[in-house]
């Protein structure tokens, strides 16, 4: 029925409370920056947050999300890129793994992904493209999944758009060389994931950790719990 399935990561493939996770994420980043001798560690959190907003809003097809983030960040940060960029690498290598305690695998998901891989269905980790690849690979590991079974992981190094822009989903289709009608988007966020239906994709809203901003005309093709999606997948994928 579908040639490719796009999966959101957080709240779909991985049991995670993103509000709690981001609180610890920024706290750990600031703490490590202070330990590394960067006195503006509180300003660091604010600037990462602001530059992430710039990256999400940007729709320049010629620049990757990483380029947009880094260019904006270092245009406002008191350290040169060559001085500070190694800190980000240090953080994701040493600090980010500490956050695994905040996440849990979702029962049935590893078996689902393994089964789909055996069927040869193309699979995408269609998480918002605001994190580097290493952060996504680590979260996949926390979900009990192997990164190499996915045909595409939408990290900020390879993507030029973010959710909820339709260009994000169009770029995925172009990378897979598929039409939107060939794809199913599975996610828990009405505004960011189900918007793919506007491009012509079918959608499945996973309601266990649903995020619904309300006041939207977006209607998923299907909806249900992850258990119900697993039953759906066994018949349709």
Query: Does residue 168 share a domain with residue 196?
Result: yes
Which DSSP string corresponds to 109-150? Answer: HHHHHHHHHHHT-EEEE---TTS-HHHHHHHHHHTT--GGG-
Query: Does residue 207 share a domain with residue 177?
Result: yes
Query: Does residue 137 share a domain with residue 119?
Result: yes
pLDDT at position 219: 92
Query: Does residue 224 share a domain with residue 128?
Result: yes
One digit per residue, pLDDT tens: the chain, 237 residues? 899 999 999 999 999 999 999 999 999 999 999 999 998 888 999 999 999 999 999 999 999 999 999 999 999 999 999 999 999 999 999 999 999 999 999 999 999 999 999 998 999 999 999 999 999 999 999 999 999 999 999 999 999 999 999 999 999 999 999 999 999 999 999 999 999 999 999 999 999 999 998 777 899 999 999 999 999 999 998
Domain total of the chain: 2
Query: Does residue 232 share a domain with residue 127?
Result: yes
Query: Does residue 177 share a domain with residue 155?
Result: yes
Query: Does residue 59 share a domain with residue 119?
Result: no
Query: Does residue 8 share a domain with residue 91?
Result: no
Helix (H) or strand (E) holding 236: helix 226-236
Which phi and psi angles does 153 have, rounded to 5°? -120, 120
Query: Does residue 226 share a domain with residue 128?
Result: yes
Helices 18-35, 81-90: inter-axial angle, 10-degree rounding: 130
Record the pTM.
Answer: 0.96
Which DSSP string corresponds to 169-232? Answer: HHHHHHHHT--GGGEEEEESBTTTTGGGGGGT-EEEEE-TT-B--SS-----SEEE-HHHHHHH
Residue burial 184-212, b: 16+ Cβ < 10 Å; e: rest: bbbbbbbebbbbbbebebbbbbbbebebe
Alpha helices (runs of H) in 5-162, residue ranges in sequence order: 18-35, 41-57, 65-76, 81-90, 109-119, 133-142
Q: What is the CATH number of the domain that holds 123?
A: 3.40.50.1000
Q: Count of residues for the chain?
A: 237
Query: Does residue 117 share a domain with residue 195?
Result: yes
Query: Does residue 90 share a domain with residue 66?
Result: yes
* 188 and 7 Cβ atoms separated by less than 8 Å: no
Three-class DSSP category at 99: helix
Query: Does residue 94 share a domain with residue 122?
Result: no
Residues spanned by the domain of 96: 19-100
């Amino acid at each position: 029925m579908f040639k490719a399935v796009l999966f959101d990561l957080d709240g779909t493939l991985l049991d995670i409370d993103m509000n709690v996770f981001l609180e610890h994420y920024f706290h750990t980043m600031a703490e490590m920056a202070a330990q590394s001798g960067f006195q503006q560690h509180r300003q660091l959190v604010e600037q990462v947050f602001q530059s992430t907003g710039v990256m999400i809003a940007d729709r320049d097809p010629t620049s990757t999300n990483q380029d947009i983030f880094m260019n904006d960040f270092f245009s406002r940060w008191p350290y040169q890129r060559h001085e500070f960029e190694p800190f980000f690498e240090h953080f994701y290598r040493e600090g980010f793994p500490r956050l695994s305690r905040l996440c849990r695998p979702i029962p049935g998901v590893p078996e689902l992904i393994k089964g789909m891989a055996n069927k040869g269905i193309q699979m995408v980790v269609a998480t918002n493209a605001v994190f580097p690849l290493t952060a996504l690979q680590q979260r996949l590991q926390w979900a009990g999944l192997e990164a190499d079974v996915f045909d595409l992981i939408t990290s900020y190094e390879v993507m030029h758009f973010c959710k909820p822009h339709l260009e994000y989903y169009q770029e995925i289709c172009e990378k897979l060389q598929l039409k939107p009608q060939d794809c199913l988007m599975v996610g828990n966020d009405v505004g960011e994931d189900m918007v793919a239906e506007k491009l012509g994709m079918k959608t499945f809203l996973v309601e266990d950790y649903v995020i619904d901003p309300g006041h939207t005309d977006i209607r998923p093709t299907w909806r249900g719990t992850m258990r119900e999606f697993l039953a759906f997948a066994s018949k349709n994928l």
